[in-house]
Amino acid sequence: MLKLKAKYSLAALLLILISLYTYRFTHVIEKELSWDVLGYYLPLPATVIYDDPLMDDRTWIEEINEEKDLTGTLYQISSNDEGEPMYFFFFGMGMMFSLFFFMGHLSAWVFDIPMDGFSYPYIIWMVIGGVVFTTIGLIYFRKVLLHFFKDKQVALLLLIFAFGTNVVQHLNIKNLETVNVLFMWVCIILWNTIKWHETHRLKNLLIIGAGVMMMCLIKPSEVFVIFIPLLYGVTSKQKLKEKWQLILKYKVQFYWTIGLAFLLFIPQLSYWLYKTGQVYYDTYKNPGVGLDIFSPHIIDSLFSYKKGWFVYTPVILLNLIGLVFMYRRNRGLFYAGFTYFFLSFYIITSWTEWWYGAAYSNRPLIVTYPILFLGLGYVFQFLTERKKLLLNVGVGLFIVLCTALNLFQWWQMRVGILDPYRTTKAYYWATFLQTEMNPEWEELKSIKRDFTGAMIFDNKENYNEEVFFVENFDDGTYTEENIKIEEGRALIPKEKEFALTFAFPYEKISDKDHVWFNISFDIIGNNYTKEVLPCFIYTMNRKEGDYGYKGPELQVHNDSVTHFSFDYLTPEIRDESDAFKFFFWNRAKGSFFVDNLKVLKYEEKD
């Protein structure tokens, strides 16, 4: 009779996979390849179908996006210093999904379906790819857990992982995002780290090297994963010296590993060199978003009703407590694991947009779960040894309630009760444990932002209006180099490219999270004959550049005054010292008059 090893954890794994496969394949949508996923995917159809491997021409993807509405703006395409288009994201995800793209391409050819890169065969094969990566990740996750804990404990850990955390969203219905593949690689690296320290086989080290490089090519900040193999087993200065001696002993293996990692890096390096002439090029050009290293958003990331980790994934509190037990019981694992977790956590919470889009709970922290669930395993180990009924029942009840809350709130988000972008404290408690949506709750949400960048101010009744700025040029007190005041109007001469510039730090504007402005003025040409029109620029400005940038063209008439009026919603403010700035950009070096410059401010009513 066949006797299965670790049958309880195997049963748990199979239950998770069956649930995953069933739910995922019954929820495939037409827009799987949209938003960030579109950016990861672009190099594949660009190279194979559209003969544009370097992304030299945006036209084809603009036409596809216009037809299929895959993204609000094509932020997935950046530019080099010459303004030429180039891929925004690294090649890592495209490399991972390339096999499944080719399977989709082949299927489209076999079944005579449009081979455009976005028809159903491509979509379903990409989803299959995501499921494959999830499956591999879970298999290695189980192997790692079984190395340290008993079968029944591992079964429980797997079930809590799958149903008690935000994994239920991001390794499931959102399995085309980076966190799914990154989780898989962390598990693979962990397992091969364990095996290499046991056997010192080249195969394990090569897999570690490939995994570290692929994680960097998917998300560069994941470079910290290298501390897992480097610090594994290190518990003291003496152990650190021994680790260095071990590396020297197997230095040839490390040479091979570095060589393999560099080989994987060559496509990305070659692309940067060709498009920019540089060995590294930062395609992220939005000054409004970046790493706020010296002011991380830790409190918001943990406790906010928008995406707080402890609010939506409360069971993770036990995992964090488990790090203490890991320290006491396995310091050789603790120093490696905690270093990776701490650095990852700090970087993740330092990101300006710490809520990470439409994520459920704190999505990027899922990559640290292989470490955190080892911590939870040590909690279970402790409870098993102590055998205190009341304590065990209390912990068990906490886990059950947290899992139930996690699943319920995930369901609320799936059906649109919980808003992944706009949930506030008031809205969260109004919808707490609710199964139906009440339209009256809408006003409890935070400001709604249009992903296309449109500025439609249609609820002025909810705001207090205030005259923020007025300059009529009537009293003759306004002075600016090369600007003349004639008949109560400011004359912008031909030689003045940027004129009438005003800037106000946000901290002096409002203590609210957003403000609406209405900016109005009149212009008339002064023998303006240029075909290129001037622009009016209004934006948020910081030392790194502008964000929330708007620059509409201004139609200039020499024989009549034209009145302009623009509404502007401030973007998510990165720092209160950032300034609301506006000015005229005289692109063609023509000449025109400006008058009646006025700014109204609208602050939300309390």
For residue 95, give Cα distances in angstroms to 42, 44, 89, 127, 268.
Answer: 11, 9, 12, 15, 10
Query: Is the pLDDT at 186 greater than 50, yes or no?
Result: yes
**Do residues 215 and 314 share a domain?**
yes
**Do residues 176 and 318 share a domain?**
yes
Query: Is the pLDDT at 371 greater than 60, yes or no?
Result: yes
Q: For the CA atoms of the chain, what is the radius of gyration?
A: 28
Q: What is the mean pLDDT of residues 248-276?
A: 98
Among residues 414, 436, 468, the one where a domain terminates is 414
Q: How far, in Å, CA of 10 to CA of 205, rounded?
A: 27
* Pairing mode of beta strands 535-542, 562-569: unpaired
Query: Is the pLDDT at 2 greater than 80, yes or no?
Result: no
Task: Give percent of the chain with pLDDT exceeding 70.
Answer: 100
Structure token digits, residue 445: 């949400």
Which residues, 6 or more positions from 28, have their beta carbon under 8 angstroms from its beta carbon?
Answer: 123, 124, 127
- Domain-embedded: residue 190: yes
Query: Is the pLDDT at 373 greater than 70, yes or no?
Result: yes
- Domain-embedded: residue 41: yes
Structural domain boundaries, residue 149: 7-277+295-414
**Do residues 397 and 477 share a domain?**
no
Span 556-572, pLDDT tens digits: 999 899 999 999 999 99
Q: Are 293 and 351 within 8 A, CB to CB?
A: no
The lowest-confidence range among 98-112, 199-213, 474-488, 515-529 is 474-488
- Domain-embedded: residue 286: no
Which residues, 6 or more positions from 16, have their beta carbon under 8 angstroms from its beta carbon?
Answer: 138, 158, 159, 162
Q: Are 443 and 604 within 8 A, CB to CB?
A: no
**Do residues 392 and 474 share a domain?**
no
Among residues 392, 414, 436, the one where a domain terminates is 414
Q: How far, in Å, CA of 464 to CA of 18, rounded?
A: 54
**pLDDT for res 1:** 43
Query: Is the pLDDT at 117 greater than 90, yes or no?
Result: yes
**pLDDT for res 543:** 87
Average pLDDT, the chain: 96
**Do residues 409 and 473 share a domain?**
no
Structure token digits, residue 128: 């299959």
Q: What is the mean pLDDT of residues 249-267?
A: 98
Task: Of 417, 298, 317, 409, give the one whose Cα is nearest residue 361.
Answer: 409
- CATH number for the domain spanning 546: value is 2.60.120.260
**Do residues 348 and 199 share a domain?**
yes
Q: What is the length of the chain? A: 606
**pLDDT for res 354:** 95
Q: How many domains does the chain have?
A: 2
- The full DSSP string for 212-234 is HHHHHHH-GGGGGGGHHHHHTT-
Span 197-246, pLDDT tens digits: 999 999 999 999 999 999 999 999 999 999 999 999 999 999 999 999 99
**Do residues 81 and 203 share a domain?**
yes
Task: Give percent of the chain with pLDDT exceeding 90.
Answer: 94
**Do residues 485 and 396 share a domain?**
no
Among residues 356, 379, 414, the one where a domain terminates is 414
Under the banding of pLDDT at 50, 70 and 90, the label for residue 477 is confident
- Domain-embedded: residue 432: no
**Do residues 94 and 209 share a domain?**
yes
Under the banding of pLDDT at 50, 70 and 90, the label for residue 175 is very high
Query: Is the pLDDT at 12 greater than 60, yes or no?
Result: yes
Q: What is the mean pLDDT of residues 180-202?
A: 99
Span 412-466, pLDDT tens digits: 999 999 999 999 999 999 999 999 999 999 999 999 998 888 899 999 999 999 9
**Do residues 217 and 328 share a domain?**
yes
Query: Is the pLDDT at 4 greater than 90, yes or no?
Result: no
**Do residues 230 and 309 share a domain?**
yes
The lowest-confidence range among 29-33, 221-225, 383-387, 410-414 is 383-387
Q: How far, in Å, CA of 106 to CA of 49, rounded?
A: 12
Query: Is the pLDDT at 284 greater than 90, yes or no?
Result: no
3-state DSSP of 78-116? EECCCCCEEECCCCHHHHHHHHHHHHHHHHHHHCCCCCC
**Do residues 359 and 480 share a domain?**
no
- Domain-embedded: residue 261: yes
Query: Is the pLDDT at 3 greater than 80, yes or no?
Result: no
Q: What is the mean pLDDT of residues 511-527?
A: 96
